[in-house]
Chains A and B, each alone.
Chain A
Amino acid sequence: MSKTRDTAKAGGLTRRQLLGSSAALLVGASGTARALSYTDTPEWQPFSNIAATPVDDDADWQFFTPDEAATVEAIVERLIPADDLSVSGKDAGCAVFIDRQLAGLYGDYERRYMHGPFQAGTPQQGDQSPLTPQQRYRLGLASLDDHCRNTQDALFKDLGGEQRDAILAQLESGDIALDDIDSVAFFEIVLQNTMEGFFADPMYGGNRDMVAWKMVGFPGARYDYRDYIERHNEDLAFEPVSIQGRGDWSTPA
């Protein structure tokens, strides 16, 4: 058993007080964590700090408006087009992934240093924007549609594949200036999040059916290659596994 000091002496809550609140169990992962004093064998609960909650793929959009979601789907389907190698980024769930990320703790940069003064520096000094990911998407998607309305008389999502590709390429190179946000910065965050969604564990909403892992040959959430490490230059033909297992492991209801 753990010996814990009283609050005043230890400079924090006791262990027992902490364990009373399950929200506080995510020590370090949330703002509710409290200072603790440990002596003797710390009482921990196995797995208490490991859970990342799988997203609900079928739920409504959690951050995007339906219009925004349609625009994001129209983007990710061009960044990762359907072809003989895989389904599109849209069908792999990349827009769902981005939506859930924006609705979660990434969305408002709760972990990021966000104090000013905000000023542009050298490229080597990195991202200095005061905008959170939520703001970047909200402003970027609206500005993108403004641009398309002005130049094509249509919304981005209603343009053909090649037209969308051309606009995305111009955002990437900075040849298009958007009204409310730096176009390159907007393109970069969308590209980054799209690739994260495509290649991350499917529990986050993208990489559906482990499509990206099958495509490149990444075995996923395996943990023991001792029997394989010395099998050099050989195709090991692993079926991928996700953190939640694999579809064919569970009996259909």
Chain B
Amino acid sequence: MATKLPRTDAVVVGLGWAGAIIANELVDAGLSVVGVERGPWRDTAKDFNIASVTDELRYAQRQELMLRTAQNTITMRNTPSQTALPMRQWGSFHPGNGTGGAGNHWAGITFRFQPEEFRLRSHLEERYGAGSIPDELSLQDWGTDWNEMEPHYDAFEKLAGTSGRAANLARGRQAGGNPFEGVRSSDYPTPPLKQPYSPTLFADTAREMGYQPFPVPSSLVSETYTNPLGVTMGPCTFCGFCTNYGCANYSKASSITTVLPTLIRKDNFEARTLCEVLRVTTDSDGRRATGIVYVDSAGRQWEQPADIVVIAAFTFENVRLMLTSNIGEAYDPITRRGTTGRNYAYQTANSVQLFFDDKNFNPFIGAGAVGMGIDEFNNDNFDHSGLGFFGGGSTRVTPIGAAPINSRPTPPGTPRWGSQWKRSTVDNYASTMSIGCEASNYASPNNYLSLDPTYRDRLGRPLLRITFDFTDNDLKMAQYVTDKVTEIAKRMNPRQMVAKPRTGPWDGRPYQSSHVVGGFVMGADPSHSSVNKYLQVWDVPNLFVVGASAFPQNPGYNPTGTVGALAFKAADGIVNHYLRRPGEMITT
């Protein structure tokens, strides 16, 4: 039995990006807030130090910062007819744990989605005709629009100190940025990062071919920056131990480098760490959340009553908590009824690898988000008439570093051990680069999240089950964009090129991206969405579920700029609308 604690105004589950942003906004509005986090308190000076962060074995191989699968994992299968099995070691994605969440070990690429994205179904039907979207895709609009989103993107970039070059400012256009972006109220808070050799070579070639390359927007700050909360960050030093590592320089934005240092000092905030939330409690008719129940590391259960409950526990746990708490109706792929678990989507990761003889890229100089990109093949930036698919990807060269347990490129056919392997490893280490194309992934009725019928976590609770495979639409798109990238690669004149369009079936073993989205999506129509545009749960007005779980489908961009913007949006909904009429759905 759970011991009941005194009530609080609001409880926030998860202190990663979304949870910390919302908690801070609610505290500033005068609410008493308790943040509950399943992992440990993390702090740069305690956890990430120059003297020890450069440890590839510990962080990349043994996955030090990630959630331990022993604590919680997912099960996976490609089709509804298969038996899902547990992911016993993280492969395809790398969920986080502890304050900072996945934001501690993320790469920092910080895109805004484009204006059309928020009304994707309407946009495609307007451009290509009412019947143009194939049945295998369950695309939908987000129930919000660019004008509503833009101020929140702006707030997130200012919080994170995002570096980049704007192209489309309200006061006019400027060269050197991403010409496909939506109109921005202000420029990036810090200038673009300096560029290493491989992105520069790529951008020069792309420019010659008529494309418009731009520095990848990055929440690794390029100079000392103090954010609106008064927290100061230091410049990125391109250490190359970035993706999968914590940053020792306070350069990589995360909730522990941008929000928590000030939030934790505010009187009406308390963080409880190593406390895992088990469920949301509701009143008898399920129309009001009464709080949450969590288990602490000693195994004791506590009930925390709250007037407002915010769940910001990353896509997987957002959806699992809703399923285990019986919030909304679980999605059924046969009847296509129910919304909890519906429209789960991923990212379609493609690449072309280039082997050179005469180049030295110094690949160990890198950062998760340093690089140059082009957007000509992304989303609906090109005409899809007659192509037989929708979507596209963000093409870019982002050298993340080259610690050599993982970074040992050799051409296909090279033995994996012995003298020949060694020779080839030495020959190619410094002279190989790769162009990535992080492409869209469009929701489909057979791709969904549900509770696993067999596998349970250490507390006996069902694991979340992923049923997912790439659709024909996405596989055709993958081939198309990879062909386009290959044209650029060819022009760069490498000795050898290896094109890797994403092919099916989805494979849980190799890392692809942690951009798992959907399952509790936002929209204007409760029959096809779980939350409204303020991330407020339909029919449970004092419950907000925030994160990429709200994306109805995934464009060819990384998610976190939008996760941050949605967190500000939810906070705006609570503070400026919900608190005026507590207990009601926000209707503006």
Question: Residues on A close to B: CB < 8 A?
Answer: 5, 8-13, 27-29, 33-42, 44-52, 78-81, 83, 85-86, 106, 110-115, 117, 119, 121-128, 165, 168, 172, 191, 194-196, 199-201, 204, 212-213, 215-226, 228-236, 243
Contacts and interface: CB of A to CB of B under 8 A. Distances in A.
Contacts of A13: 298
A50 B298 contact: no
A117 B453 CA distance: 12
Minimum-distance CB pairs A-B, first 10: A35-B296, A28-B40, A232-B197, A113-B69, A221-B54, A27-B40, A200-B57, A224-B237, A35-B274, A50-B52
29 contacts: A11-B302, A28-B39, A29-B64, A33-B274, A36-B41, A38-B264, A38-B271, A39-B269, A46-B46, A47-B49, A50-B49, A50-B52, A51-B52, A112-B89, A124-B505, A124-B506, A125-B87, A191-B416, A191-B417, A196-B405, A201-B57, A213-B404, A216-B408, A216-B430, A217-B430, A218-B404, A225-B238, A231-B362, A236-B362
B27 to A, nearest CB: 12
A81 B86 CA distance: 37
If over half of B's interface residues share one DSSP class (helix, strand or loop), that class is named, otherwise mixed; here it is loop
Interface stretch (B70-78, B316-324, B553-561): B70-78
Interface in B14-73: 39-43, 45-58, 61-64, 68-70, 73
Contact of A121 (B3, B85, B273, B365): B85
Contacts of B454: 117
Contact of A229 (B6, B83, B195): B195
A27 B455 CA distance: 27
A232 B196 contact: yes
Nearest to A104: B62
Nearest to A45: B46
B270 A52 contact: no
B104 to A, nearest CB: 12
Contact of B422 (A49, A83, A200, A201): A83
Contact of A199 (B56, B82, B506): B56
B405 A200 contact: yes
Contacts, number: 267
Contacts of A37: 270-273
**Which of B52, B82, B235 counts the most A-chain CB atoms under 10 A from its CB?**
B52
Nearest to B431: A233
Contact of A233 (B64, B237, B360): B360
Contacts of A221: 54
Contacts of B403: 199, 218
A51 B195 CA distance: 33
B239 A41 contact: no
A126 to B, nearest CB: 5
Contacts of A204: 57
A50 B47 contact: yes
Contacts of B76: 124-125
Contacts of A230: 194-196
B427 to A, nearest CB: 10
Contact of A49 (B47, B239, B248): B47
A125 B77 CA distance: 7
A115 B456 contact: yes
Contacts of A224: 237-239
B389 interface: no
B508 A126 contact: yes
Size class of the contact patch on chain B: 35 or more
Contacts of A127: 88-89
A52 B58 contact: yes
Contacts of B97: 28
A199 B426 CA distance: 13
B402 A113 contact: no
A72 B271 CA distance: 48
A150 B68 CA distance: 42
A220 B54 contact: yes
A85 B426 contact: yes
Contact of A50 (B51, B88, B241, B370): B51
B273 A35 contact: yes
Nearest to A128: B85
A7 B89 CA distance: 34
Contact of A39 (B264, B419, B455): B264
B405 A42 contact: no
Given A50-B46, A126-B88, A128-B85, A36 B272 contact: yes
A235 B97 CA distance: 39
A47 B52 CA distance: 9
Contacts of A114: 70, 88
A122 B504 CA distance: 13
Contacts of B5: 9, 11
Nearest to A201: B55
A179 B296 CA distance: 44
Nearest to B39: A28
Contacts of A216: 404, 408, 425-426, 429-430
Given A36-B272, A126-B91, 15 more contacts: A12-B296, A33-B274, A35-B297, A36-B273, A38-B273, A39-B271, A52-B52, A79-B418, A80-B417, A125-B508, A215-B422, A225-B364, A229-B194, A230-B195, A234-B360
